[in-house]
Amino acid sequence: MSAQPVASPSPQQAVPNTRGLDRSLLFGIAWTGGAKWASQLLSWASTLIVARLLTPEDFGLVGMASLFLGLITLLSEFGLGSAIVTLRHLDDEQVAQLNALSALVGLASCATACAAAIPLGNFFATPELPAVVVVTSAGFVINSFRTVPSSILQRDLRFKALAAVETGRVFVLSVSMVVFAVLGLRYWTLVIGGLISSALGTGAVLLLQRHRFAWPRRQALNSAMTFSGDILLGRLSWYTYSNADFLVAGRILGKTALGLYELGWTIANVPIEKITTLVTQVTPPIFSAVQHDHAALRRYLLGLTEGLALITYPLCFGVALVAPDFVHFALGDKWQGAIVPLQLLALSAGFRAVTPLLPQVLIAIGQTRLAMKYALLCAVVLPGAFYLLGKGWGTVGIALAWVLVFPGLVLPAYRRVLRAIQLPGWEFLRALWPALSASLLMAATVATLGWAVPQRWALGYRLAAQVVAGAMVYVVACLTLHRHRITTFYRFLRAVRSGDARPGLDATAQSENA
């Protein structure tokens, strides 16, 4: 398979020292996490208030627009942000041309959405929809001026500034939407709120980082456009296969089955959405900074993989184990049909929780074409698997496709990643061993306890006993079987915090044999 090479490093492309990157990585995760949770709390609070003031029809109207505009949003960034972060050999003139190209793509996206507004209104038989689509599409133009400056901030590891922008944007947005809802603007509350969000984010980023414009020339942007094209096609492929299961469930099984499956998916993927996504928001510029240093890439990949596994594996295994009692206790007997899909999806989430780092490494070393091809393979195969297994076994079959088919499709790609950075597969598996072994011991404990606890116990007590016992066994197993690794991580974090982290510190190299 062909791959797009990354330009050789030049004197101007000095790789940041590892100690500085260690600090940037951990503080980037801390700042991004703080902003994410603060923003989430503000969003939840304002949404609850706005939901009491608006009607389901108001939310449904905006939701209709989002079905189409979500796809346009995916296309509108065009992979230009990833190109800025990864292709560090781009000079000032090329970045200026990408800045102008981003604005042109934003205008084209807005025009496309406006052209589709009336047909969408006719399709949904909703006369108010065209106006909503037209007004909302202005956000594509506004956001297009933020793509390049924001990517420069990310490339330069200015996570604190980006976190401040995000928190401030959400705060003003939350207050504004409550005010608009109180004033009786109905569904326009959500539409205007989205535009204000775009304007605030773009304005704040431009205050921190501006860049000039230059008319795009194809010859000058050839490598960047090849890179962006691969990124864009990969994202479209991801969008296809990550939504195909919901489409199949709704189309061949009906809305009740879709509701059961969607609930299982939502609960099972909490570790990925809240933990893995947080880390992967910070890692692209880190991997990009050491893209020519495979030893450093191996170090970051192994350390981050081990850390993610230690946090996400017990959550995923735990959800799969306590799903029957949890569903009956927290949701009621009417959700009985969600139990088995939830268990299977939780096991799949454990696999997927640590794998997003690997495509990022491929992109950082310039093999975007390979990453795109494997994403395209998933987009071709997975929908068919969802359909065939779903038709035979319902929502259980669809969830089973994530457990059986998806790993078989992506494992060859991950082997290529490890080979590209000269990382033996056994060493990668060894990074997973502490979390996996402790999780297996936890699973055995919870399963035994679930069998041994008398059925006459209240369901809440049974669930609490399994959760507490499982957590205790997991912590004890980590501290006894893998004490040296946990101690190494702790010392590393303290050293980074105090500014004394050494480039040679490697949590995987300085650990006991698996």
- CA–CA distance, 79 with 360 (Å, rounded to integer): 13
The reported pLDDT for the residue numbered 32 is 79
The reported pLDDT for the residue numbered 9 is 41
State yes or no: pLDDT of 456 exceeds 90: no
State yes or no: pLDDT of 8 exceeds 80: no
Joined tokens for residue 500: 């004394």
Region 210-216: mean pLDDT is 92
Joined tokens for residue 189: 């509350």
The reported pLDDT for the residue numbered 57 is 81
State yes or no: pLDDT of 4 exceeds 70: no
Q: Give pLDDT tens digits for 156-166.
A: 888 888 888 88
3-state secondary structure 150-174: HHHHHHCCCHHHHHHHHHHHHHHHH
Contact residues for 514 (Cβ-Cβ < 8 A; gap 6+): 429, 430, 433
The reported pLDDT for the residue numbered 496 is 53
Q: Can you spell out the DSSP letters for 206-219? A: HHH---------TT
Region 202-229: mean pLDDT is 89
Range picked from 63-67, 317-321, 502-506, 509-513 for highest mean pLDDT: 317-321
pLDDT level of residue 1 (50, 70, 90 thresholds): very low
The reported pLDDT for the residue numbered 15 is 47
Identify the CA nearest to 100 among candidates 161, 144, 150.
144
The reported pLDDT for the residue numbered 136 is 92
CB contact at 8 A, 369 and 3? yes
Identify the CA nearest to 369 among candidates 230, 205, 479.
230
Region 30-47: mean pLDDT is 77
Dihedral, 383, 387, 388, 392 alpha carbons, nearest 10: 150
pLDDT level of residue 390 (50, 70, 90 thresholds): very high
CA atoms within 13 A on the CB side of 97: 17
CB contact at 8 A, 327 and 342? yes
Phi and psi angles of residue 243, each rounded to the nearest 5 degrees, phi first = -110, -10
Region 177-196: mean pLDDT is 89
The reported pLDDT for the residue numbered 368 is 84
Region 423-450: mean pLDDT is 90
The reported pLDDT for the residue numbered 497 is 56
Region 327-356: mean pLDDT is 88
Region 370-396: mean pLDDT is 92
pLDDT level of residue 296 (50, 70, 90 thresholds): confident
Q: Give pLDDT tens digits for 484-504.
A: 877 776 666 665 555 554 433
- Secondary structure letter of residue 292 according to DSSP: T
The reported pLDDT for the residue numbered 115 is 94
Q: Give pLDDT tens digits for 115-126.
A: 999 998 888 888
When comparing pLDDT for 28 and 128, which is higher?
A: 128
> Any idea which of 193-197, 332-336, 384-388 has the lowest mean pLDDT?
332-336
Region 144-172: mean pLDDT is 89
Q: Give pLDDT tens digits for 94-146.
A: 999 999 999 999 999 999 999 999 998 888 888 889 999 999 999 999 999 99
Region 352-372: mean pLDDT is 87
Region 190-211: mean pLDDT is 91
- CA–CA distance, 285 with 289 (Å, rounded to integer): 6
- CA–CA distance, 109 with 138 (Å, rounded to integer): 9
Cα 421 to chain centroid distance, Å, stands at: 23
The reported pLDDT for the residue numbered 17 is 58
Range picked from 246-260, 361-375, 383-397 for highest mean pLDDT: 383-397
Region 27-35: mean pLDDT is 78
Region 308-325: mean pLDDT is 90
State yes or no: pLDDT of 14 exceeds 60: no
The reported pLDDT for the residue numbered 459 is 78
Contact residues for 98 (Cβ-Cβ < 8 A; gap 6+): 80, 83, 84, 90, 148, 216, 221, 224
Region 261-265: mean pLDDT is 86
> Any idea which of 48-62, 210-224, 357-371 has the lowest mean pLDDT?
48-62
pLDDT level of residue 417 (50, 70, 90 thresholds): confident
pLDDT level of residue 5 (50, 70, 90 thresholds): very low
State yes or no: pLDDT of 450 exceeds 80: no
Percentage of the chain lying above the pLDDT 90 cut = 28
- CA–CA distance, 153 with 481 (Å, rounded to integer): 41
**Cβ neighbours of 450 (radius 10 Å):** 17
